[in-house]
Structure 1
Amino acid sequence: MDAPEEFCRLLSPLPLPDEMRQWDEEAERFGLSTAMLMENAGRVACDVLLRHCPDVEGAAVWLLMGSGNNGGDAACVARLLADRGARPLLFHARPPDAVSGASALHLSMARANGVRLAPLEELPVAMTACLGGMTAKERNATATAAAESGPPRIIVDGLLGTGFSGKLRPEAQAAIERVNALSRRIAGCFVLAIDIPSGLDAVSGLPSPVAGRAHATVTLAAAKPGLVLPCARPWAGALHVGDIGIPAAVRTRRPPRHYLLDGRALRGLPGPAPDAYKNSFGHVLVLGGAPGLSGAGHLAAAAALRAGAGLVSAAAPGSSLPAIKNDWPEIMTLALGDAGAVRWPASLPDPLRELLCRCTALAVGPGMGRGDDAAAFLAALLELPGRPPAVIDADALILLSRNRALLSRLTSADILTPHPGEAAALLAADTRQIQAQRPAALARLCGLSPAAVVLKGAGTLAGQSGRPVLISPYAIPALAMGGSGDVLAGCIAALLAQTGAGCRDALRVAATGVALHALAGRICARDFPLRGVRASELADALPHARATPGDPPATGGERCIPWPN
């Protein structure tokens, strides 16, 4: 990619570790030294710490200084805390005379400012001494310093940064486990991680095999993909993004491959024109809701209306239509077969062809069923020349997995919305494999066809071949219920219908629908914080979510990414 896509300009970048290194290198060529960026990092980390712990005068603060740039950031924080009257004790993983570059400069400034140093291997001795488990005669210099200052009120984790990958070395794992145990034992002890909790993988968001447990993390320049995934929340705590001065020109020249899909995605939605009428907002056709599964068809249709479609029709075997309509006069219907029909036709009847010519988007699959009749009907639909773009969901995805030749009939205007089980069927894999390697699964799904793909689940991913990956940070237990996916399919179809024939960016539409659906889920979770939301209530919340887009704005040079309850 030569520059960020227009839609991505609305979203926060999520650079991978190698991309972050490129930003740092470009910034240095721009004229910003590593020492200057390290000073900025230390200051923003200190500012975040003071927001959580405003009174640090006299407080014992333990800081872990690794051998990389994260360690230099920790040394800078130690110096700044000493300026505020705190009593920092800096545990260094590398001997001070072996530290080089910008980290050596900040370490020397910390020492000159009265910061006390101790080798990281003496952390167990310090822990024993500060907790009163060592006599004065048994103490060395580190133990004496720890005993004099008492148990730490604050721990700053600068041991390992985002460049870490693989498995922790035994000594690093032992240090992390000791700090986790110490922070649990000391009432009120606050842990701040610089850039990322040590041991947490910046790509997957998983520990390797353990990670530091922070109450807050200040990630530098931009959040990293693994940090915004819900699985990282128990380790990262409150996630803050600190601006360290990477120039906009650098970020533009080196756009990342991942972006944060939060509420700001909705800011790209246009408001209704004053002279708009129903056809201005598109016509969605729902193809689903077979006998016994008609509720799915109704939910998709209702969600399409709630998401702003001007017209919504549903076509299904005749016996299903009363339940799909479900006393919603706004949902128009077309019976496929007579009023008692229970099977999908093997070919497209003329009335359906005429309706397809009038529609601007399709929602295909919710409650369609998986029988031979549904398979034949889906094949006839996808092979129709010039058909409207389609959101393909639920049973239609399973049918695609059984007739993979149909994948060649998909276009770049279509959108696939599999949950992990449906993704496993499409990839001939196990659901556990999908969940263990979600980014890789998304890449494989995008390789099946030109269509955009939404891999649903906690931390939904959206992508399309050759384009950025968009990561939703939301994990809302209230959405984990039957019908939630049908609502999402109808929601995305409504947005797809509203884009018009000349402006169809399937990935942007899919991503906006994911964000709208998640924010509607947050609204529902206010009344039902854990469980108990009905899919119909989720659909009803869509207009309210659209009316109040976005997350809290940035303040004071840093932005907190809110973890939704």
Structure 2
Amino acid sequence: MRVLSAEEMRDMDRRAFEEYGITGVQLMEMAGRAVALVADHILQGRLTGELPAHPSPVLTWLDDLSRGRASLPARSGLRVCAVCGTGNNGGDGFVAARHLANWGYDCTIFVAGDPGRLQGEARLNYEALVRRGLPVIDVPEVSELRALEQADLIIDALLGTGIRGEVMERISEVMDIINSAEAPVLSVDIPSGINADTGEVCGNAVVADVTVTFAAPKTGLLLYPGADFAGAITVADIGIPAPLMDLRAPAGKHIIDGAMVSELIPERESDSHKGDHGHALLVAGSPGLTGAAEMAGRACVLSGAGLTTVACPGGAHATLAAKFTEVMTLPLGQPTEVALAPGHAKALLEQAGRWTAVGLGPGIGRDPQTISFVRDIVPKLDRPFVLDADALFALGEDAAKLLAGKADLGVITPHPGELARLLGTDAEWVQSNRLEAAGRAADDFGVVCVLKGAHTIVAEPQGRAFFNLTGNAGLAKGGSGDVLTGIILALLTQGLAPVEAAVAGVWLHGRAADIAAARSNQISLTATDCLKAIPEAFCEAGAV
């Protein structure tokens, strides 16, 4: 599924007219009707008790909810208040209110601004409401909005995707009243006050229970804090021609879904053997940190690698070997050696022909010798690899130099703090600019960057970015990143390109966490729980 910026959406609207003759009036009608359909669904659910007033955040496509309309309960007595601005977002709200009134709802429309400023399609739909005789109330004073306290549903159509800078004080007061009302809030395209490109709050914003967004999700709905304000997101088709939404675009933003991952899962021939599915080398673990190696190694096996070897310092080998049955282990150095060293890099590179792909980082520690090992071996890697944790620490601000020439080979999986160190900035900036930060890392280092966190972002050099919506807060716990490294390593080992392995890996990892959390809860979720759910995640993606 494509993800669009505000400018990209405006370009879609323009091209729909210039290339296909689809007018703004047609698009607004489709958009407003989509809002009305979702509003109807929410209200009928509240009436029958079949739909919660505050749905869990989830991304869905809008089906034709108008089917079976005659069998639904009567709508009289249910009050809808649409709070509309004077731009096109307000016009969408006018259309929604007209349809809801036609279906029998008690609709009141509030215009937060001077109706004389309405133009084009928005003015046409405002005038249609007036001619229809519906209560359209100008709001010179915010006290006029106290009627929202009696509403069964509030439609937020104040501000759309064009907002820049902070909202005006008067509009902010209107937002406060909407947010203080008890009724569920349905936002049009994006919660008013949220920057559609960055997810930033422009001084104040409406907190929605549901957001109906048009044609494709807007970037700001997937970036925090905007994602917290959006509630459940429903994507509505408003008639943008399919060629304009081409998913094969060489650049752009996309949401990872099960169908996309299903196409990436390696197929196995019935007569295949372990050698056909690659040999993964995982360099991980050190005394006191063998659990990281165990998590990553087990994830690699469960994710399909034909053979998995875990290499670790000799001083950690006995402990690590006792943890595995399906995984081979390789001691580097003597039992007295507790850290990786540059000499170990030479030993591994001499055996490089054995490995299909390499994973490096989980639990290796930050000993100066280990840092030298990483900085020695990474420039010499000539096969697909994934770097995580302490390997990223070792690269530091020399990442661009050490990763030079690794196009089409590498994946890095930093959390915000690790990426901040690589980019020479701070974690606060990374969190506030996640899409830009991931894209900058991919471009600067020439490898695929997986920026971990809520709505993990996968960015490829000079190309696409992908948002992952699977996963939950239970992943905010030690060991989770190690499991992800193992999954990505296994997929690289089976022949997936770096961006494919990263895209499939983050979705499978998050889905395993969701499956595991559903069995207990997010607070108690562990990396081991996620490991146990990996097979089910693969099944959901179509693995046989």
**TM-score normalized by the length of structure 1:** 0.85
Query: 2:261 touches 2:503 (CA, 8 Å); kept in 1?
Result: no
1:306 aligns with 2:302: yes
Match of 1:267 in 2: 262
Q: What amino acid maps onto 1:395 in structure 2? A: D
1:216 aligns with 2:210: yes
Match of 1:525 in 2: 517
- Post-superposition offset of 1:459: 1.6
How many angstroms apart in 2 are the aligned matches of 1:180 and 1:123? 13
Query: 2:266 touches 2:494 (CA, 8 Å); kept in 1?
Result: no
1:17 aligns with 2:3: no
Query: 1:91 touches 1:123 (CA, 8 Å); kept in 2?
Result: no
* Mean Cα deviation higher: 462-471 or 354-363: 354-363
Query: 1:72 touches 1:102 (CA, 8 Å); kept in 2?
Result: yes
1:124 aligns with 2:143: yes
Q: What amino acid maps onto 1:155 in structure 2? A: I
How many angstroms apart in 2 are the aligned matches of 1:349 and 1:158? 60
1:396-407 pair list within 5 angstroms? 396-401=391-396, 403-404=398-399, 405-407=401-403
Q: 1:440 aligns with which of 436, 442, 448?
A: 436
How many angstroms apart in 1 are the aligned matches of 2:365 and 2:448? 23
In the superposition, relative to structure 1, how do residues 162 and 402 fare at CA in structure 2: closer, same or farther (>3 Å)?
closer
Q: 2:526 aligns with which of 534, 541, 564?
A: 534
Q: 2:15 aligns with which of 26, 49, 52?
A: 26
How many angstroms apart in 2 are the aligned matches of 1:527 and 1:308? 24
1:22-171 pair list within 5 angstroms? 22-29=11-18, 30-54=20-44, 56-127=75-146, 151-171=150-170
In the superposition, relative to structure 1, how do residues 455 and 350 fare at CA in structure 2: closer, same or farther (>3 Å)?
closer
Match of 2:194 in 1: 200
Superposed CA deviations along residues 221-240 of structure 1, whole A, max 9, x for unmatched, are: 11111213363344222211
SS of aligned partner of 2:225 = helix
How many angstroms apart in 2 are the aligned matches of 1:225 and 1:252? 17
How many angstroms apart in 2 are the aligned matches of 1:296 and 1:97? 64
SS of aligned partner of 1:270 = coil
How many angstroms apart in 1 are the aligned matches of 2:148 and 2:358? 66
Query: 1:64 touches 1:157 (CA, 8 Å); kept in 2?
Result: yes
Query: 1:363 touches 1:493 (CA, 8 Å); kept in 2?
Result: yes
In the superposition, relative to structure 1, how do residues 407 and 352 fare at CA in structure 2: closer, same or farther (>3 Å)?
closer
How many angstroms apart in 1 are the aligned matches of 2:5 and 2:230? 17
In the superposition, relative to structure 1, how do residues 130 and 306 fare at CA in structure 2: closer, same or farther (>3 Å)?
closer
Query: 2:345 touches 2:373 (CA, 8 Å); kept in 1?
Result: no
In the superposition, relative to structure 1, how do residues 125 and 64 fare at CA in structure 2: closer, same or farther (>3 Å)?
closer
Q: What amino acid maps onto 1:266 in structure 2? A: V
Superposed CA deviations along residues 239-278 of structure 1, whole A, max 9, x for unmatched, are: 1111111011122399572111233332122332222211
- Post-superposition offset of 1:342: 2.1
SS of aligned partner of 2:338 = coil
How many angstroms apart in 2 are the aligned matches of 1:122 and 1:86? 25
- CA RMSD in angstroms, aligned pairs only: 2.1
Superposed CA deviations along residues 290-326 of structure 1, whole A, max 9, x for unmatched, are: 2222221121111100111110001122221232233
Q: What amino acid maps onto 2:202 in structure 1? A: S
Match of 2:67 in 1: none
Superposed CA deviations along residues 59-103 of structure 1, whole A, max 9, x for unmatched, are: 222112212211111111111111112222211234444422111
Over 4 Å off, 4+ runs = 253-256, 348-351
Superposed CA deviations along residues 41-72 of structure 1, whole A, max 9, x for unmatched, are: 11111111111112532322211221221111
Q: What amino acid maps onto 1:261 in structure 2? A: I
Q: Structure 2: state its 5+ residue gaps.
A: 45-73
**TM-score normalized by the length of structure 2:** 0.89
SS of aligned partner of 1:274 = coil
Q: 1:411 aligns with which of 400, 407, 414?
A: 407
SS of aligned partner of 1:429 = coil
Q: What amino acid maps onto 2:528 in structure 1? A: S
Query: 1:230 touches 1:474 (CA, 8 Å); kept in 2?
Result: no
SS of aligned partner of 2:234 = strand
Match of 1:562 in 2: none
Superposed CA deviations along residues 141-198 of structure 1, whole A, max 9, x for unmatched, are: xxxxxxxxxx2222111111112122111121111112212x23xxxx2321111111
- Post-superposition offset of 1:353: 3.2
Q: Structure 1: state its 5+ residue gaps.
A: 1-11, 132-150, 551-565
Match of 2:54 in 1: none
- Post-superposition offset of 1:354: 4.6
Query: 1:220 touches 1:241 (CA, 8 Å); kept in 2?
Result: yes
In the superposition, relative to structure 1, how do residues 130 and 196 fare at CA in structure 2: closer, same or farther (>3 Å)?
closer
How many angstroms apart in 1 are the aligned matches of 2:353 and 2:340? 20
Match of 2:486 in 1: 490
- Post-superposition offset of 1:475: 5.1
How many angstroms apart in 1 are the aligned matches of 2:125 and 2:355? 64
Q: What amino acid maps onto 1:264 in structure 2? A: A
How many angstroms apart in 1 are the aligned matches of 2:23 and 2:9? 15
Q: What amino acid maps onto 1:289 in structure 2? A: G
SS of aligned partner of 1:53 = helix
- Post-superposition offset of 1:526: 1.1
Match of 2:348 in 1: 352
Equivalent pairs counted in the alignment come to 509
How many angstroms apart in 2 are the aligned matches of 1:462 and 1:449? 14
Q: 2:390 aligns with which of 376, 395, 408?
A: 395
Match of 1:316 in 2: 312
- Post-superposition offset of 1:350: 6.7
Query: 1:204 touches 1:225 (CA, 8 Å); kept in 2?
Result: yes
Match of 2:61 in 1: none
* Mean Cα deviation higher: 369-378 or 256-265: 256-265
SS of aligned partner of 2:335 = coil
SS of aligned partner of 2:36 = helix
How many angstroms apart in 1 are the aligned matches of 2:23 and 2:397? 56
Query: 1:229 touches 1:472 (CA, 8 Å); kept in 2?
Result: no
Q: What amino acid maps onto 1:49 in structure 2? A: A
Match of 1:175 in 2: 174
Match of 2:63 in 1: none
How many angstroms apart in 2 are the aligned matches of 1:216 and 1:253? 25
SS of aligned partner of 2:461 = coil
